[in-house]
Structure 1
Amino acid sequence: MPGTTGRTSAPVLGGAVTVAGPSGYCIDGKAGHQTDRTAVAVLGRCSGSGTAKPALITVTVGGPGSASVLESGAPALSAYFTSAAGRAALARDGRASSVAVRSVAVADGALVLDLTDRAVGRIWRALIGLNGRAVTIAVSAPRGASLDAKAGRALLDRSIASMRAANRGSAP
């Protein structure tokens, strides 16, 4: 995503969705990727932002209509993400045995997962719909750092709020 490094927000997919991080977090344009249907943006602490906790925020935007997966409801999504197939989909290495799902909850309309991935440690993920697209937001500590449970969840909540604010008026 050339031209986005250091920015706190940027439109992706021809403006279908705007990726936005919470205060103190900026887009790393070299780490993101976009196709004609999907996008992945990576955000980290902005340079000179001493108050933001070291963290990695990844925003994945699905294809048109992908938000329809949310229509299956929280119980079905929870059952999927705690199943072997769901854990494999969440795992960085694609192996269900690499992920332990600590909890699945619904918070302010977002499906929120607290999990541990053997490859990267603890991760907080949220699944929301924006402009008809499924959007996944993941928060984790960068390599060599730690992020306690309270701080990780708070950063996820702030990331959800930032994405919704940047896309205000969009349909779920």
Structure 2
Amino acid sequence: MTTGQGGLAPLFGAALLALSACVPVGMTGTADRAVAVAGGAVTVAGPQGYCVDRGARSDALVLLGSCASLAGSRSVGGPARPAILTASVAEPPASGIDLDAMAGFVRSAPGRAALSQSNDPASVTIDQVTASGGVLFIRLRDSAMAKSLPVETGYWRALTGLRGYAVTLSVLSPASAPLSPDEQRAVLNAFVARMRAANPPAATVTTGG
């Protein structure tokens, strides 16, 4: 299956650009364990201890952080070393989600521009791209991140399909309390698993013969 670059760019693009508008300094707002997006078709839910920040949502982006931090109470629980999580949901290209095409795209100049906070391919370095179990995992560094966000420039992304939508998940490390790449990847794995559990495939109706 071949997918044009024009169809892939929106899947990797504007979600993190919205992050700077949502969270100029830190996470603020009230927390939910999950939220429905895409007209209710997809549920965004984070790993254990992570909640949705209702005060930092946009049409392009759902932001998640420590439930304890968002609620202002340790009693609700949260990770000992929290990351900042994002989820974006988009219509997939007409030709579908082709992980091989996406893996090639993210290494190209247009792909790196789509991943860049400043739309500059020179700001992005791709460290690793792997596909496993229907998920594309990307480890990258974006030097433009440090100019507008209180996060480390290196982070993980995952792209997969859920309920007919292309879902991009990111795990970012707070600059004030950095997580290692391995720690970030462990959170991303848990994020992917939680999203799959919250969005099982639509039931198929069968009729008896």
What band does the TM-score fall into relative to the shorter chain? 0.7 to 0.9
Match of 1:85 in 2: 110
Q: Match of 1:106?
A: 131
* Identical amino acids, percent of aligned pairs: 42
Q: 1:153 to 1:78 in 2, by over 3 A?
A: same
Change beyond 3 A, Cα 1:12–1:89? same
8 Å contact from structure 1 (residues 6, 26) kept in 2: yes
Give 1:68 shift: 4.6
The answer to whether the 8 Å contact 1:87/1:96 transfers is: yes
Richer in helix (by share): 2
Which amino acid is 2:106 matched to?
F
Kept in 2, the 8 Å contact 1:31–1:42? The answer is yes
CA distance in 2, matches of 1:170, 1:123: 31
Higher strand share: 1
Counterparts of 1:130 and 1:68, CA distance in 2: 16
Q: Deviation of residue 124 (structure 1)?
A: 0.3
Aligned with 1:15 (options 31, 35, 40): 40
Q: Which structure would you say has the larger Rg?
A: 2
Q: How many residues align?
A: 161
* Aligned counterpart in structure 1 of residue 187 of structure 2, from 155, 165, 172: 155
1:58 counterpart (86, 97, 100): 86
Gaps of 5+ in 2: 1-28, 69-73, 146-151, 204-209
Scaled by the length of structure 2, what TM-score is found? 0.71
Could you tell me how far 1:148 is from its partner in structure 2? 0.4
Q: What is the TM-score normalised by the length of structure 1? A: 0.86
Deviations 1:92-120 (A, max 9, x none): 11110111000100122100000111124
Query: 2: distance between equivalents of 1:124 and 1:69?
Result: 23
Q: Which runs of 5+ in 1 are unaligned?
A: none
**Aligned alpha-carbon RMSD (Å):** 1.9
